[in-house]
Amino acid sequence: MTPPSDIIVGIDLGTTFSLVAWCDERGPQVVRDENGDGRVPSVIGFSPDGSLKIGWDARNHAVENPEHTVYSVKRLMGIGADVLARELPYLSYHVISGQRDQVVIEVNGRPVTPQEISAIILRELKARAERQLGREIRKAVITVPAYFDDSQRQATRDAGQIAGLEVVRIINEPTAAALAYGIGQRAATTAPKSTALPIGDKSKCTAPQPVSEDATGAEPSTIAVYDLGGGTFDVTVLRLHDGVFEAISTHGDTHLGGDDFDRVIMDLVQREVREKTGIDIMTPATRQALRLLSEQVKIRLSTNNDARIELDLGNSGKYERTVTRSEFESLIAPLIDRTIDACRRALADAALDPAAIQRIVMVGGCTRIPLVRSRVAEFFKTTPYTALNPDEVVALGAAVQAQILAGGRRDLQLLDVTPLSLGIETMGGAMGKLIMRNARIPCEAREMFTTFMDGQANVKINVLQGERELAADCRSLGEFALGGIPPMPAGIPKIEVAFLIDANGILNVSAREQRSGREASIQVVPAHGLTRDEVRKIELDSVRFARQDMDAHRLIDLRNQIEFDAHKTEQVLARVAETLPREERIAIEESIRVLRKLSQTSGDPEKLHQALEQFGKSTLHLAEFAITRSLQEAQATTKGQV
């Protein structure tokens, strides 16, 4: 099979781990490292010298560099400072409010957006795929939680663009999991014929209608995808029928996931230490250590009945205790209750009873927790389906969708829904909904509005997202103005407002006064997100400063190598100093001093490279002398033993 000119990869950009996958004639497969692990920890470590640690390297050194190791950044994507307060107590790095109320991370004294952090992870995944496939990757399907709002979806798209990827589609994580599930279910059978269904309707959107039986009388399969990841939770009800994956309803929480399960253990330890010692142990380093320890305790309790915690408190002694599985389950029960409530709401929106669900597909690492599985089984009255790897299923599904978009599969079709209602603020602060939640996407809705005051020439349109009836209780996604309306009595102008949600779930809004023809339109940019110009600037800067960045990176590497070589030379010199000729010892000490001074004062990588090579040649005799000395000592020891 000849590979397509452009491979489209599927990316699961996760809170804890991220993965990349692709499809060929064998089906979807995760891109793995040399150890066979497909996961890349979503962790970035920033060093003072500007160098980066990414993935496992950053995760393993988080305690050593607590204030500049960024984790769980997905929970900061597209949120404003008003939502930040609940995250701050658990973050060891510095987060501040930037322009337009957007959240930014302070790294080595400069602000970095969550989109830029996510772009670093995406670039690592892109590079991993390119190494394995041996070709440039330019396009990707990226998954997001089904309950991500427009701001968070925009932020994800921005991150992809900054990483140098064309994001051809953003799809919901549970829907991606359903695609992977469907492929697995159909692997042993012949692919059924394709069924053409309308992708969207140009009238006002309504909730999708159930797929009816086809002429053969085959019943559609109704499944629920329970997706409990590192930072978010979603449940989506879907119908699978004749190659069509149709989302019917979705519900969830973008601030409920594995991080919160870890935090109940962190809170327990912090509370007991405070009661025992009267001190607050939450320094940045301790917070990083305790976060990683709590995660390990959570994981161990999925297979063991208890887990041991030991924490060094310095002068205050040591904190030790055993957490039992039953104790852990009592702590996390309220969190699991919230997921079950979301399942109940999703079924209500789909007008279904739990008994109508044929299978529950479990997604996300936290679905390995025994209490999660038992509660889900109890609610749906059936055993959850756990045959798919919960860490990889979303990435595999994204790769399937990528293959569909690339034209590699024509027997599958994906019909998704929007998670939240969308509308505008009307006079008096009400929420006028144009698109209701769980409407099939892509779709479009139009509605007529008018002016409230005589001679009103401008109308401000505040775009809202949410389920409440008052604008103050909903989230503002952005504002724009329709100006130049000819003066007319109140109620006479006819202003048509149109909402268009594309296949990525991204919202475009336009307004047109029909009598005068005046119109305005925008792709909604969140009040606390990046503007198009800012995203473009970041993208252009990455190209414009590519050579400068490479030189800076090389300079950092050379300075690190110089210090390493100088230190090792000093160690060898100290060991053989008494037997080395005095003139040679003084010359080497001077060369170390000169090399270090040059490293501190010169910004020319080529000059440092040449100096390092010369230093290596000048100390070659010392290395040979030290090796000879070690061999002589070893021989003397051996003779003594005989």
Nearest Cα neighbor of 97 from 110, 108, 84, 78 is 84
Poorest-confidence range of 128-132, 281-285, 609-613?
281-285
Mean pLDDT over 404-410 rounds to: 76
Q: Are 441 and 502 in contact (CB under 8 A)?
A: yes
Query: Does some domain include residue 3?
Result: no
What single DSSP character describes residue 73?
G
Quick one: 118 and 134 in the same domain?
Answer: yes
In this prediction, residue 568 has a pLDDT band, given cuts at 50, 70 and 90, of confident
Would you state the pLDDT for residue 302? 93
Quick one: 179 and 206 in the same domain?
Answer: yes
Q: Are 231 and 344 in contact (CB under 8 A)?
A: no
Q: Is the pLDDT of residue 212 over 50?
A: no
Mean pLDDT over 13-38 rounds to: 92
Whole-angstrom CA distances from 93 to 77, 260, 461 are 16, 18, 37
Q: Is the pLDDT of residue 562 over 50?
A: yes
Quick one: 12 and 117 in the same domain?
Answer: yes
Quick one: 102 and 83 in the same domain?
Answer: yes
The SS3 of residue 507 is: strand
Would you state the pLDDT for residue 69? 94
Nearest Cα neighbor of 93 from 165, 153, 44 is 44
Mean pLDDT over 529-550 rounds to: 64
268-277 residue pLDDT tens: 998 888 888 7
* CATH of residue 425: 2.60.34.10
Burial of 355 (0-12, 13-18, 19+ CB in 10 A): exposed
Strand partners, 360: 224
Number of domains into which the chain is organized: 4
Query: Does some domain include residue 461?
Result: yes
Would you state the pLDDT for residue 197? 27
In this prediction, residue 297 has a pLDDT band, given cuts at 50, 70 and 90, of very high
365, 394, 416 — which closes off a domain? 416
Cis ω before 284 (30° cut-off from 0): no
Q: Which domain holds residue 489?
A: 418-534
Query: Does some domain include residue 146?
Result: yes
Quick one: 456 and 492 in the same domain?
Answer: yes
Quick one: 290 and 384 in the same domain?
Answer: no
* CATH of residue 635: 1.20.1270.10
* CATH of residue 125: 3.30.420.40
Whole-angstrom CA distances from 145 to 127, 384, 465 are 24, 20, 16
Q: Are 419 and 149 in contact (CB under 8 A)?
A: yes
Residue 297 to residue 322: CA distance in whole angstroms? 10
Residue 477 to residue 423: CA distance in whole angstroms? 10
**Which residues are the active-site residues?**
12, 74, 173, 227
Quick one: 115 and 240 in the same domain?
Answer: yes
Largest CA distance in the chain: 113
401, 416, 431 — which closes off a domain? 416
Query: Does some domain include residue 540?
Result: no
Higher pLDDT, 580 or 174: 174
153-169 residue pLDDT tens: 889 999 999 999 999 99
Quick one: 267 and 363 in the same domain?
Answer: no
> Highest-confidence range of 75-79, 91-95, 297-301, by mean pLDDT?
297-301
Would you state the pLDDT for residue 633? 66
Quick one: 511 and 619 in the same domain?
Answer: no
Q: Are 105 and 115 in contact (CB under 8 A)?
A: no
- Mark 47-67 as b/e (b = at least 16 C-beta within 10 Å): eeeeeebbbeebbebbbebbb
Quick one: 612 and 513 in the same domain?
Answer: no
Poorest-confidence range of 434-443, 532-541, 554-563?
532-541
Would you state the pLDDT for residue 639? 52
Residue 570: count of CB within 10 angstroms of its CB: 13
Query: Does some domain include residue 1?
Result: no
Quick one: 228 and 310 in the same domain?
Answer: no
Q: Is the pLDDT of residue 532 over 70?
A: no
* CATH of residue 328: 3.90.640.10
Mean pLDDT over 297-311 rounds to: 92
Mean pLDDT over 146-157 rounds to: 86
Would you state the pLDDT for residue 198? 27
Helix axes 114-133, 150-162, angle to 10 degrees: 50
Query: Does some domain include residue 539?
Result: no
DSSP string, 20-71: EEEEETTEEEE---TTS---EES-EEE-TTS-EEETHHHHHTTTTSGGGEE-
> Highest-confidence range of 99-113, 227-241, 612-626, by mean pLDDT?
227-241
Would you state the pLDDT for residue 156? 93
Would you state the pLDDT for residue 99? 73
Higher pLDDT, 370 or 441: 370
In this prediction, residue 620 has a pLDDT band, given cuts at 50, 70 and 90, of confident
416, 436, 458 — which closes off a domain? 416
Residue 604 to residue 600: CA distance in whole angstroms? 11
Whole-angstrom CA distances from 438 to 146, 245, 384, 467, 578 are 10, 15, 24, 12, 81
Query: Does some domain include residue 215?
Result: yes
Residue 42 to residue 567: CA distance in whole angstroms? 33
Quick one: 155 and 78 in the same domain?
Answer: yes
Q: Is the pLDDT of residue 2 over 50?
A: no
Edge-to-edge strand list for the sheet holding 110-112: 94-97, 103-107, 110-112
Query: Does some domain include residue 383?
Result: yes
454-463 residue pLDDT tens: 888 888 888 8
